[in-house]
Amino acid sequence: MKRIMCVVKYDGSGFNGYQRQPGLRTVQGEIEKALEKIAKKPITIHSSGRTDAGVHANGQVFHFDTEGAMDGCRYARAFKSLLPDDIFIVSSQEVDKGFHARYHGKIKEYRYQLSLNAYAPIRRNYTYFHPRNLDIEAMREAMAHLVGTHDFTSFCGIIDESDKVRTIFEANLYEDEGELTFQFVGNGFLRYMIRIMVGTLIAVGDGRKSAKDIPLIITGRNRKLAGLTAKPQGLYLEYVKYPQEVMEQTAFPFSGIE
């Protein structure tokens, strides 16, 4: 048995999200369909995490186990002719059997694209258009409050008893001629967390909320305190990083995934 790890890019526009669902077109479903053709039997893949409908990935990671004799590095090419053109396997390699795409993926970067410029049809699935001025400095000040280890219950789309504590290592907002990029690097993100953070930051930029409200929203631990959930099409999973010690255990160590 071999464990194979793949890095995959996809355009989320045409999928009902990442996770396999009967009768619906999903990223996992399409990859498993192609993998079944390669392996001649059904194989389940395990990703670093799900992405919602409409969300894109530039560096999602998944692994699977196979009895096949083919070299790990050859899967990327084998997938190429079998996958639809909105999914692209960037690389594949054999990893240690102890490697797990989800459990070991300890650093993730997401980006969110927001445009303050006029609507452009060719970018409608790839950017959230908000053609009004926003106070960028106030948004940056608000973002700084999100960095650190917090209970993010107020920024989570699901109400349950699970642990809502996460750490955001870095949060930046770049602006280039009305095109905003929100960058979040953390040890994991709750469901809708980035989109709710962005929705809240838009409220700060609009003046409906203030940067000083963010610490109160966090400590309030109540979804109603935060802003709206920003639309999915602006969101990109950029990469997943695995700790050096996990990668050193792999049969084919590598320095990073990016």
Residues in touch with a second copy (CB under 8 A): 9-11, 56, 58, 85-88, 90, 118-122, 124, 126
CB under 8 Å to 249, separation ≥6 — which residues? 96, 98, 99
Strand partners, 183: 111, 172
**HSE on the CB side for 143, CA within 13 Å?**
23
- The DSSP-derived string for 40-103 is SS----EES----TT-EEEEEEEEEEE---S-GGGHHHHHHTTS-TTEEEEEEEEE-TT--TTT
In a 13 Å sphere around the CA of 142, the CA atoms on its Cβ side amount to 30
Could you tell me which residues are beta bridge partners of residue 46?
A: 63
- In Å, how far from its chain's centre is CA 40? 30
114 vs 217 by CB, closer to a second copy:
114
**Nearest distance, CB of residue 84 and a second copy, angstroms:** 9
Residue 106 CB, shortest distance to a second copy, in Å, is 26
To a second copy, the closest distance from the beta carbon of 124 in angstroms equals 5
Q: Is the CB of 125 or the CB of 249 nearer to a second copy?
A: 125
The one catalytic residue in 11, 52, 160, 213 is 52
Of 1 and 122, which has the nearer Cβ to a second copy? Answer: 122
- Burial (CB count within 10 angstroms: exposed 0-12, middle 13-18, buried 19+), residue 5: buried
CA-atom Rg of the chain in angstroms: 19
> Least separation, in Å, of the C-beta of 13 and a second copy?
8
**Shortest Å, Cβ 258 to a second copy:** 13
CA–CA separation, 86 and 12 (whole Å):
8
Q: Please identify, using beta-carbon distances, which residue of 22 and 121 lies nearer to a second copy.
A: 121
Q: Alpha helices of 85-151 — where are they, by DSSP H?
A: 136-146
Question: 232 with 223: CB under 8 angstroms?
Answer: no
86 is catalytic: no
Q: Which is nearer to a second copy, 116 or 147 (CB)?
A: 116
Q: Which residues are the active-site residues?
A: 52
